Structure 1
Amino acid sequence: MKVVIAIAPEKYRDEELAEPVAALNSAGIAFDIASTRPGTCTGMLGGKTLAGISFDDVDPKNYKGLIIIGGSGSPAHLWEDDMLTGLARYFHETGKVVAAICLAPVVLARAGILKQKKATVYDSPVAVMEMKKGKAVLVGQPVVTDGRIVTANGPLAAKDFAAAVVKELKDEFW
């Protein structure tokens, strides 16, 4: 089993990446890190991560899930990325796990997969507005799972978000 983790090339939220990576490693789930371009990406707290592939290079047939990391770089680099929203749509339509944390759930809203789905997002006016435009049913909880979609509201929820994602990936019911 393998998943793809999507991050902004700059200003992704470090712990929102670190916690899922730790949980995936602990569960023995392989992953690739992708961004708008391959290469070194920089976190809001100064961390550096190598994106081995670009969103254009992701073949969704090779992955069981998509995890989109938030941070202040999300609006500038992820929200309007057509390739990423297309990937999110494909993963959802084929019954795979789709997860996003912090400001990244807006990508799912823009992909049209949160219509009438329970979800959460970082509490910023613009993000909340985008979620409502996407017809998401906003829930005031740190982590929300609705079907195969997992959303979380920010860095304090990163550990629980990671656990929820791993649980969905390992759920043989699907």
Structure 2
Amino acid sequence: MTGDIAEKKILMVVAQKNFRDEEFFEPRDVFEDEGVNITVASNSTDEAEGVLGGRVKPDMSIDDVNIADYDAIVIAGGGGSREYLWKNKKLHEIVREGFDMEKVVAAICISPVVLAKAGILEGKRATVFGDPASIKALKKGGANYEDEEVIVVDNIVTGRDPASAVKFGQTVLETLEKY
């Protein structure tokens, strides 16, 4: 990694409940190992709880995010994404703004659906967790679904599942060095 990666700021978004622990904590560890500044956002600043019992106290509410303050947005997956993030209009707006500003926009597991719903995957290759509802939602958003571990298209990174979490985090950093 280049020396200036430590000056980067990443906004990590988790569902308030049932985020997938590995898809938050493993990329976060990859980012922290490189000295990247991380801010966590969720539906509120109440403690968020992962499927496996991991807990994180969000620094801010999604409603209070100004994407211009960050170099990347990374959305963790897990079943809670469908309930708390898929339909979050403010999050869609943040994703669109980040994409338009050429920030790195990344999501893993079922959270690439948020990117599809935000309208930034039209005609682009992307991956998502292999359940039928997620694949259908990704395609409905115009994405070309591919069953790969991690896919990068320009400033967009999508990851498939918990087993991809470390590679996803590393790929986000590699992409961040280019933007």
Give the TM-score of the pair, scaled to structure 2: 0.94
CA distance in 2, matches of 1:44, 1:29: 25
Deviation at 1:54, TM superposition (A): 0.3
1:128 matched to 2:132: no
- Give the letter for the 1:84 counterpart: L
CA distance in 2, matches of 1:25, 1:11: 23
Deviation at 1:18, TM superposition (A): 0.9
* Matching residue within 58, 70, 79 for 1:63: 70
1:51 matched to 2:58: yes
Q: Which structure 2 residue ranges, 5 or more long, are not aligned?
A: 1-7
CA distance in 2, matches of 1:54, 1:39: 9
Deviation at 1:170, TM superposition (A): 1.8
1:162 matched to 2:169: yes
CA contact (8 A) 1:66 1:91 kept: yes
Give the TM-score of the pair, scaled to structure 1: 0.97
1:4 matched to 2:17: no
1:114 matched to 2:121: yes
Q: Secondary structure of 1:116's partner?
A: coil
> Equivalent residue for 2:26?
19
CA contact (8 A) 1:121 1:152 kept: yes
Q: Which structure 1 residue ranges, 5 or more long, are not aligned?
A: none
- Give the letter for the 1:61 counterpart: A
Q: Secondary structure of 1:91's partner?
A: helix
> Equivalent residue for 1:153?
160
CA contact (8 A) 1:13 1:45 kept: yes
* Matching residue within 76, 89, 93 for 2:96: 89
CA contact (8 A) 2:18 2:80 kept: yes
Q: How big is each residue's C-alpha offset from its partner over 1:56-92, in whole Å with a ceiling of 9 and x where there is no partner?
A: 1111111011000000101000000011111001000
Q: Secondary structure of 1:162's partner?
A: helix
> Equivalent residue for 1:38?
45
Deviation at 1:20, TM superposition (A): 1.1
Deviation at 1:116, TM superposition (A): 0.8
* Matching residue within 58, 72, 79 for 1:72: 79
CA distance in 1, matches of 2:147, 2:136: 15
Equivalences, count = 172
Aligned-pair identity in percent equals: 37
CA distance in 2, matches of 1:21, 1:105: 18
Q: How large is the RMSD of aligned CA atoms in angstroms?
A: 0.7
CA distance in 1, matches of 2:112, 2:147: 14
1:143 matched to 2:150: yes
CA distance in 1, matches of 2:44, 2:133: 26
CA distance in 2, matches of 1:98, 1:56: 18
CA contact (8 A) 2:42 2:62 kept: yes
Deviation at 1:27, TM superposition (A): 1.2
- Give the letter for the 1:168 counterpart: T
